Amino acid sequence: MIEEIFSNILIYFVVIPVLMLAGLALCKNIKQIRAVALVGSIALMALSVYVLVDYLQLRAAGETAQMLYTDSWQWFGPLNIHLAVGVDGISIAMLLLSAIILFTGTFASWKIDPMPKEFFLWLILLSTGVFGFFISIDLFTMFMFYEVALIPMYLLIGVWGSGKKNYSAMKLTLMLMGGSAFLMLGLIGIYYHSAPEGGQLTWNLVEISQNNAIDRDWQYFLFPMTFVGFGVLGAMFPFHTWSPDGHASAPTAVSMLHAGVLMKLGGYGCFRVAIYLMPEAANDLAWIFLILTGISVVYGAFSACVQTDLKYINAYSSVSHCGLVLFAILMLNTTAMTGAIMQMLSHGLMTALFFALIGMIYGRTHTRDIREMGGLMKIMPFLAVCYVIAGMASLGLPGLSGFVAEMTIFVGSFQHTDMFHRVFTIVACCSIVITAVYILRVVGKLLFGPVQDEHHLQLTDATWWERFSTVSLIICVAAIGCFPGFFSDLISFTFSENIFKVLGIN
């Protein structure tokens, strides 16, 4: 049994973080801690790249199964709970994203203080949950990992945060837990309706989707449950308010991981559970959530226009961008969904870049209020240039990741012929202008113009680890922006026939 488990490559996505935890427990000084975190995250990155390459080869060799590397081991018989793993293109993209962000996050928290060991312990525990979530195909195990990813956030913000950290940490945790409550209900409901003809009940989402097991009436109840449950984490209006406060208080690496990866858990969950298992309800109820997410997109962008705290601006921008993810998922066609996943990747990378940069700027100026800063381009050109690039990615400059993702979404969404979808697509399109407004507002105030504070003239530019972290993120952002075909092929293969056969749409 044990050997069997360890012969599956995916399980190492969980094993490596656990080993890292053990290693960290033994560490005595900051150097060892860094070494462990670095080695572990590099190993995870190497692993995800390997899985990506191997996956592509398998696909090229004609492998047509929906999920690859599937395996399943029972761990609680009476409820038929399994540790079931398997990945498709989307999960692999997400795994890669998580590994990259963990890696850069490690660099971003190079000088974390106080209690570096504990900080990394919680951070790694969080990523264990994230990786576990993305490789699971058993709903229960998935939910378990989901919770593992959420809980450390409380401590990470509450202990290492800044500002109103207790309030924010509590708010974030409670709101996400509230979402989890919906989710748990939804998942249990799915379990009890997973075998309509009285067969063995199952948590395995591949089996459920293949049998198209859940009957329609129940779908109407369970779909909103799961969608809202995951939607809270995906910052869906009106359940997004944890995001600005949470991000503003969180330490740099946590903001990066949270906005970069954790919010993607929401989108991924909405797609993989809510829509995947209950396509009919998704098709019928999509309009409600389209309205909500459509509001998210524009509303988040408008809110960002008047904020003065850098982190609030980005948190609201995340609301807008993540809203676009859910919006596109609900369009229920291949192009828009491909766009949604690309937007997840793109948003993950660029928002991590943003938060890393904000952390670095905050670490120097000790303020995040844009009114108190100015002319940073002159003082710290490297960081400023990176910020401009991140901004350009965010407002959708071609050649960087934001553009391809947004365009895929818009073109996909516009394939609907009815007025409702089109009007909402156009509303969502408007966000590109508003995004430009708030990004340029920040760039203009923060980076350009005269220096506001004489003391800032003494500040230094980025250190090598900061450079490393930002440059690697920029390279990833540019890679998606320049070679989107690769990613869209990786993702869109997964959509072929499997989900849409039920609906008879594509």
Partner 1 sequence: MDQTIPLLILALPLCMFLVLGLAGHKMSHKMAGILGTLGMGTALVLAYTTAFTYFFGGNFVDEAGNRLQHIVFNYDWLAFTENLIIRLGFLLDPISAMMLVVITTISFMVHLYSLGYMHGEKGFQRYYAFLSLFSFSMLGLVVATNIFQMYIFWELVGASSFLLIGFYYTKPSAVSASKKAFIVTRFADLGFLIGILILSFYSNTFDFVTMTQAPGNVLASTGGAVFMGGSVLTWALVLIFMGGMGKSAMMPLHIWLPDAMEGPTPVSALIHAATMVVAGVFLVARMFPVYLVEEVALEIVTWVGALTALYAAIVACTQVDIKRVLAFSTISQIAFMVVSLGVARPELHEGVGYMASMFHLFTHAMFKALLFLGAGALIHAVHSNDFTSMGGLRKHMPITHITFLIGCLAIAGIYPFAGFFSKDEILVAAYSNSMMWGIWMTAVAGLTAFYMFRLYYRIFWWNNPDYSKHHHTPHDAPWTMTLPLIILAAVSCVAGFIPFGELVTWNREAYEIHLNYPIAITSVVVALCAIGLATIMYRKENSLPDKVADKVKGLWTAAYHRFYFDELYLFITHKIIFNLVSRPIAWFDRQIIDGTMDMFAEVTNKASEAIKGLQSGRVQSYVLVYLLGALLVGVVTVICMVL
From 3-11, 111-119, 183-191, 482-490, span contacting partner 1 (CB under 8 A): 482-490
Closest CA to 145 of 180, 117, 93, 171: 180
335 binds partner 1 (CB under 8 A): yes
| Shortest separation between residue 153's beta carbon and partner 1, angstroms | 17
Give CA–CA dist 237/231, Å, rounded: 9
Does 134 bind partner 1 (CB under 8 A)? Our answer is no
Q: Cα–Cα distance between 260 and 126 in angstroms, integer?
A: 13
In 3D space, the residue among 289, 345, 297 whose CA is nearest the CA of residue 320 turns out to be 297
Q: Does 467 bind partner 1 (CB under 8 A)?
A: no
Binding partner 1 (rule: CB under 8 A), the pick from 171, 195, 207, 372 is 171
- Residues with Cβ < 8 Å from 183, sequence gap 6 or more? 143, 146, 225, 226, 229, 230, 269
Chosen residue from 48, 219, 303, 314 binding partner 1 by CB under 8 A: 303
Query: Least distance (Å) from partner 1 to the CB of residue 397?
Result: 5
Q: Which of 199, 492, 468 is nearest to 342 (CA)?
A: 492
Nearer to partner 1, 132 or 179 (CB): 179
If binding is defined by CB under 8 A, does position 104 make contact with partner 1? no
- The reply to whether 175 sits near partner 1 by the rule CB under 8 A is yes
Q: Please state, as a whole number, how many other Cβ atoms lie within 10 Å of the Cβ of residue 442.
A: 23
In the complex, the smallest distance separating the C-beta of residue 161 from partner 1, rounded to whole angstroms, is 18
Considering the rule CB under 8 A, would residue 415 count as an interface residue with partner 1? yes
Candidate segments 30-38, 77-85, 210-218, 241-249, binder of partner 1 by CB under 8 A: 241-249
Say whether residue 241 binds partner 1 (CB under 8 A). Answer: yes
Burial class (CB in 10 A: 0-12, 13-18, 19+), 167: middle
Under DSSP, is residue 164 helix (H, G, I), strand (E, B) or coil?
Answer: coil
* Residue 418 binds partner 1 (CB under 8 A): no
Based on the shown chain and the rule CB under 8 A, indicate whether residue 163 belongs to the binding site for partner 1: no
Instruction: Name the strand (E) or helix (H) holding 74.
Output: strand 68-76
Q: Based on CB atoms, which residue is closest to partner 1, 18 or 478?
A: 478
Q: Does the footprint of partner 1 cover residue 128 (CB under 8 A)?
A: no
Structure tokens at 476: 């990833």
| Binding window for partner 1 (CB under 8 A); candidates: 71-79, 108-116, 138-146, 372-380 | 372-380
Burial grade of 52 (CB within 10 A; 0-12, 13-18, 19 or more): middle
Q: Does 468 bind partner 1 (CB under 8 A)?
A: no
Does residue number 495 form part of the binding site for partner 1 (CB under 8 A)? no
Q: Which is nearer to partner 1, 275 or 301 (CB)?
A: 301
Count the Cβ atoms, other than its own, within 10 Å of residue 272. Answer: 25
Alpha helix segments (H runs only) across 109-200: 116-135, 139-160, 165-192
454 near partner 1 (CB under 8 A): no
- From the CB of residue 127, how many other CB atoms can be counted at a distance below 10 Å? 29
Q: Is 307 in the site for partner 1 (CB under 8 A)?
A: yes
Contact 384, 137 (CB under 8 A): no
CB of 259 to partner 1, least distance (A): 18
Give me the torsion for CA of 426, 437, 394, 232, rounded to 10°: -70
Q: Segment near partner 1 (CB under 8 A), from 96-104, 134-142, 361-369, 373-381? A: 373-381
Interface with partner 1, residue 505, by CB under 8 A: no
In this chain, which of 411, 475, 503, 505 binds partner 1, going by CB under 8 A?
411
- Report how far residue 35's alpha carbon sits from residue 290's, in angstroms, rounded to the nearest whole number: 46
Give CA–CA dist 16/19, Å, rounded.
5
Write the interaction track for partner 1 spanning residues 379-408; mark x where CB under 8 A is met and - where it is not. -------------x--xxxxx---xx--xx
Q: Give whichever of 17 and 339 is closer to partner 1, judged by the CB atom.
A: 339
226 binds partner 1 (CB under 8 A): no
Stretch that binds partner 1, among 27-35, 65-73, 123-131, 447-455 (CB under 8 A): 447-455
- One of 19, 43, 185, 436 touching partner 1 (CB under 8 A): 436
Show contacts with partner 1 in window 262-281 (CB under 8 A): none
Q: Which stretch binds partner 1 (CB under 8 A): 136-144, 190-198, 324-332, 426-434?
A: 426-434
The alpha carbon of 249 is separated from its chain's Cα centroid by a whole number of angstroms, namely: 19
Does position 479 interact with partner 1 (CB under 8 A)? The reply is no
**Buried b or exposed e, range 283-302, using 16+ CB within 10 angstroms:** bebbeebbbbbbbbbbbbbb
Evaluate whether 402 touches 346 at the Cβ level (below 8 Å).
Answer: yes
CB atoms near residue 6 (< 10 Å): 11
Binding site residues, partner 1, CB under 8 A: 170-171, 174-175, 237-238, 240-242, 245, 299, 302-303, 305-307, 334-335, 375, 377-378, 392, 395-399, 403-404, 407-408, 410-412, 414-415, 425-426, 429-430, 432-433, 436-437, 440-441, 444, 447-450, 484-485, 488
